[in-house]
Amino acid sequence: MRWRSPRVGLAALARPARPRAGRARLGRRTVYILPTREGLLLAPALAALLLLGLHYNNNAALAFTFLLASVAVVAILHTYRELAGVGIAAEPAGEAFAGGRQRFRLRLDGGGRPRRVRVAAGGVAAEVAVPAEGEAAAVLAVPAPRRGMLALGRVRLETTRPLGLFRAWGYAETGAEAVVYPRPAPPAGLPPGGAGEAEGGADAEGGGGAFHDLGRWRDGESLRRVHWPLAARGRGLHLKRFAAPAGGTLWLTWEAASGDAEARLARLCRWVLDAEAAGLAYGLALPGARIPPGRGAVHRRRCLERLGRWPR
């Protein structure tokens, strides 16, 4: 019969448990507790009361000192129980563009007893009253500085109830992620009808659409639609704008935008928003990827997510 070294068991007990991603529940090995500032001030106050009671042989002072000390010890247990057993899960709530804030919805359950906890992640926090049965929800608006995948990261839960003498806290990894879309470029009208450009067919200048009007050229827009005769007369740069092609189908292509990759993504993001607002059926054509024409919230989200996930 082989015996295992006792060091292995002691090391396993001493090693903090790593919170698991997904639905997390704080347990005895994931809750930590320390005195608050008020709790630290209580210790010298109790020591002073104890010395006074001993010096003057005052039984009332001694009894009061031991009573306060007992209350403090009981408060440790109640503060710990206020947090241990709390369950938490998180999911994205809404959409975000680069430079804005991505909202995450946190769902907490009390595990059979009412609680009040503070949740914090990404530099923002919220107080949540959790019922004994069912769930409570809180929304954290986390900064989204750039496009791409944004992870909520580690969520901190803490409480100082019931007396505020001790602070219990723990961490949970929910694994929640969201796609942050590119920051839209300023409005500048939709590109040419694009059906010919995407398929390699007719009329690259107008994309099959009829001439509509002229608009002032803005930085980041393609030079292919500039009205050069007007520019030669010193009237500045103006774009030839065309109506949507027959059938209301529009192709938003990588080549129709100009600038570096981020500028193109910003312009394509703007075109997706404008085409959806105009009620057009539109497709998205990127190098090595294509989304067929469509419309509606699901199609819009699919196009924006593809732009947000584009490699940096």
Question: pLDDT tens, 204-243?
Answer: 344 445 454 566 666 555 566 676 777 777 777 776 655 5
Same domain, yes or no: 153 and 39: yes
- Report the pLDDT averaged over residues 252-267: 94
Phi first, then psi, for residue 132 (nearest 5°) are -65, -40
Same domain, yes or no: 166 and 63: yes
Same domain, yes or no: 28 and 165: yes
User: Bigger pLDDT: 242 or 119?
Assistant: 119
- Report the pLDDT averaged over residues 166-183: 96
In a domain, 18, yes or no: no
Q: Is the model's pLDDT at 178 over the cut of 60?
A: yes
- Total-model pTM: 0.73
Domain boundary (179, 209, 225) is at: 179
In a domain, 8, yes or no: no
Same domain, yes or no: 199 and 175: no
Q: Is the model's pLDDT at 278 over the cut of 60?
A: yes
Total number of domains constituting the chain: 2
> Average per-residue pLDDT in the chain?
83
154 contacts 172 by C-beta, under 8 angstroms: yes
Same domain, yes or no: 237 and 134: no
Beta bridge partners of 251: 283
Residue among 294, 214, 212, 220 at smallest CA distance from 251: 294
Same domain, yes or no: 282 and 227: yes
In a domain, 15, yes or no: no
Residue 249, domain extent: 195-308
Same domain, yes or no: 175 and 35: yes
Same domain, yes or no: 153 and 45: yes
pLDDT given for residue 128 in this prediction: 96
Domain boundary (145, 179, 213) is at: 179
Same domain, yes or no: 61 and 205: no
Domain boundary (179, 206, 223) is at: 179
Same domain, yes or no: 44 and 146: yes
User: Bigger pLDDT: 193 or 29?
Assistant: 29
Same domain, yes or no: 98 and 150: yes
